[in-house]
Structure 1
Amino acid sequence: MERPPATYQVNGTELRRTRMRQGLGIKEVAAAAGIDRSYLQRLETGVRQHMRPGTYAALRTVLNIHDDRLLVGEETAEKR
């Protein structure tokens, strides 16, 4: 059985684009995902790029994403 990676490398631009496309505020998404607003902001701006699996899963749940388009190199996942 394959173990999940220790962290996921997140595409901040896609994260921000997805959040804004859904009309959600940064504070709203951060609170719902159980993370700090400043942490989410650093992810979106590229200052931070890595997330632990549980945090990544929570963020995907809040944004109602069922693929890996938020990961670096997976921007086209929703088009597949």
Structure 2
Amino acid sequence: MSNPPATCQVNGAAIRATRKRQGLGIRETAEAAGISRSYLQRLETGIREQMRPPTYAALRTALRATDAELLVAHEET
């Protein structure tokens, strides 16, 4: 059995596109996810690429999105 990852690598451009496609503002999305507006901005611009799983889950829920939409795909070796 493998342990869950310590962090999730997110695709900032996909986060922004998903948010905008749903007509959500950055402030309301951040509030819904329980994170700061500046943290969400750093994610969307790629300054920050890693999130802890509980925080990521809250953002994913706020955006009503899937892992496939928001996470960076890793190739299996």
- Which residue is 2:3 aligned to? 3
CA-CA distance at 1:72 after TM superposition: 1.1
- Which residue is 1:61 aligned to? 61
> TM-score, normalised to structure 2's length?
0.89
- Which residue is 2:40 aligned to? 40
SS of aligned partner of 1:18: helix
Query: Amino acid of the residue matched to residue 15 of structure 2?
Result: L
CA-CA distance at 1:68 after TM superposition: 2.7
Distance 1:10 1:66 in 2: 12
Unaligned runs of 5+ in 1: 75-80
* Deviation sequence 1:6-27 (CA, Å, 0-9, x none): 0011100000000000000000
CA-CA distance at 1:65 after TM superposition: 1.5
CA-CA distance at 1:63 after TM superposition: 0.8
Kindly report the root-mean-square deviation, in angstroms, between the aligned alpha carbons of the 2 structures: 1.3
- Which residue is 2:70 aligned to? 70
CA-CA distance at 1:73 after TM superposition: 2.2
